[in-house]
Chain A
């Protein structure tokens, strides 16, 4: 594994007129590492995620990504075609609401197969086998392959969204509150699944969450955001067990004891 980070963010800022979305954000992300960005709603964490993943234009700062061939590219220098291709192959984006990341009227198989077809896979049997395989890995019964997500439960839809993103073996995964809309009982299953897949595939992940328990379970490192700024960062276990910044202490203190 290379000693270079897969993603480097430098002094990222997003402003809306006079209002700050996020500012002075810098971090490195290594292959296979999971970084959690935590904070309350309005802290700017989703804005940050959208800026890093190219969904929102940043106001200032740099985002550099190491491509599959090892070359480091500044994302703003990529053409639209290159960026869209990257988003379809090397990257994944898991939305909080699975309906935002799925085609609700396309079958589960079609949803998972779409990325393959988008990069030129033209063998129906292969596409179906691969889709079937992935449905298995996210614990969706194989006989649901031709059903539409409109008929799935929330947890199933989310697992389908994960499969759809992982089928092209991305190297970097962005997740925005992936278990946010799910029942507590269902969350555990999805989180467990994520933990296994991330580890098996050696994915680098940036996950945004307000839930510290999710951060604890999935991430090695953590950024705490408040009002658009990073107030504390470090190893997840350290920050959660021994928070330095008063705001971090407040957040940690409000976790109900398990």
Chain B
């Protein structure tokens, strides 16, 4: 006799126990430490902080460990945690001009004040899997030299700005809206777009950025500057009447320079695409800046023809936590609705069979049978 299936609670409990076991793996192998993850898988940590929208390398490392290396799962953990944190207020705008530079390059100038500083980049490595990765050979300590206190790293966009060749940075709103607190409605403004892109999925934005280079909404981009390093975070304290520094974070900033022909009332200037991401996340910052510029189509009288220019399409689908939730929700039981579809399909087939078996049946008149 059929027995209705029960025991969902037990099943869930057991599934979680199995997960814990698999996560830990072979007990004779040392467990991962947070220091190992933050130290030796730093770029994973950076991605999780960026898309999790929370700067806390240790928490990100915990999330990566808990997620068994699934970065989108880790990002989800960080976001869920972020939701519970109290909002204290906005910081002052980060002054990337005063960044403690680790890497700084420009494609628009051969040389410039401060020079081209490669930093710890994969760019010119040969992608050959190194046998050393299977071992534990010691790596030499790096050479150090004092950093000149007056090192000058003017932003490329400021250099262009001095000659009035690039659109100005803009004043910006007093306090930008927070897309995690206020519902987004389209069309949005630049601040909301930037927030959405900063936490947007790297793969999705990479593909869209790539598409703009291949003709889907071209904006003729040049990397004006990429800089990676530490910036100070300052917060205004009204009770004190001045701002205090609450710490330092590593960010990647990409200024993409694109062309624009003046529209008659305005003289031609270069235009900007902007990318700013937590950590060392160059690919993401570059992709973000390409898409950001593409989304500003209206400001420059550009026709929106390409997916990367479609604000609703890009912003509604760039959040990988929302995306994975909805895609994966298809695993949930849908048998009630499926039953409804089965019923209709069976009926339609029955009717089709009846029709083909009785072609002399009453000629088609315009009043059809009542549905059902």
Contact = CB atoms under 8 A, between A and B. Distances in A.
B263 A17 contact: yes
A124 B368 CA distance: 9
A67 B366 CA distance: 36
A125 B367 CA distance: 6
A63 B326 CA distance: 49
Contact of A18 (B264, B366, B367): B264
B185 interface: no
| Majority secondary structure of chain B interface residues (helix, strand, loop or mixed) | loop
Contacts of B366: 125, 128-129
Contacts of B264: 17-19
A17 B265 contact: yes
A129 B366 CA distance: 8
B264 to A, nearest CB: 5
Nearest to A17: B264
Interface in B114-142: none
Interface in B254-287: 263-265
A128 B367 CA distance: 10
Contacts of A18: 264
Interface in B337-372: 366-368
A17 B265 CA distance: 8
Contacts of A125: 366-367
B372 to A, nearest CB: 15
Nearest to A132: B366
A46 B106 CA distance: 47
Contacts of A19: 264
B364 to A, nearest CB: 11
A125 B263 CA distance: 54
Contacts of B263: 17
A129 B367 CA distance: 10
Interface in A1-47: 17-19
Contacts of B367: 125
Interface string B88-115: 0000000000000000000000000000
Interface string A177-209: 000000000000000000000000000000000
A17 B368 CA distance: 58
A38 B263 CA distance: 30
A19 B366 CA distance: 56
Nearest to A124: B368
Interface in A56-109: none
Interface in A103-134: 124-125, 128-129
B238 to A, nearest CB: 44
Nearest to A18: B264
Contacts of B265: 17
Nearest to A16: B264
Nearest to B263: A17
A129 B368 CA distance: 13
B82 to A, nearest CB: 40
A18 B366 CA distance: 59
Contacts of A128: 366
Nearest to A129: B366
Nearest to A19: B264
B247 to A, nearest CB: 49
A125 B369 CA distance: 11
A18 B263 CA distance: 11
Interface string B50-81: 00000000000000000000000000000000
A213 to B, nearest CB: 34
A207 B89 CA distance: 60
B232 to A, nearest CB: 44
A85 B263 CA distance: 36
Nearest to B265: A17
A119 B263 CA distance: 43
A110 to B, nearest CB: 15
Contacts of A129: 366
A128 B366 CA distance: 8
Nearest to B365: A125
A17 B301 CA distance: 13
Interface in A191-241: none
A40 B265 CA distance: 28
B349 to A, nearest CB: 20
A121 to B, nearest CB: 15
Interface in B300-325: none
B265 to A, nearest CB: 6
A18 B265 CA distance: 9
Nearest to B367: A125
Contacts of A124: 368
B362 to A, nearest CB: 16
B305 to A, nearest CB: 16
Interface in B13-29: none
A17 B262 CA distance: 13
10 contacts: A17-B263, A17-B264, A17-B265, A18-B264, A19-B264, A124-B368, A125-B366, A125-B367, A128-B366, A129-B366
Given A17-B263, A17-B265, 8 more contacts: A17-B264, A18-B264, A19-B264, A124-B368, A125-B366, A125-B367, A128-B366, A129-B366
Q: Ordered nearest first, which 5 A-B pairs have the shortest CB separation?
A: A17-B264, A125-B366, A125-B367, A17-B265, A128-B366
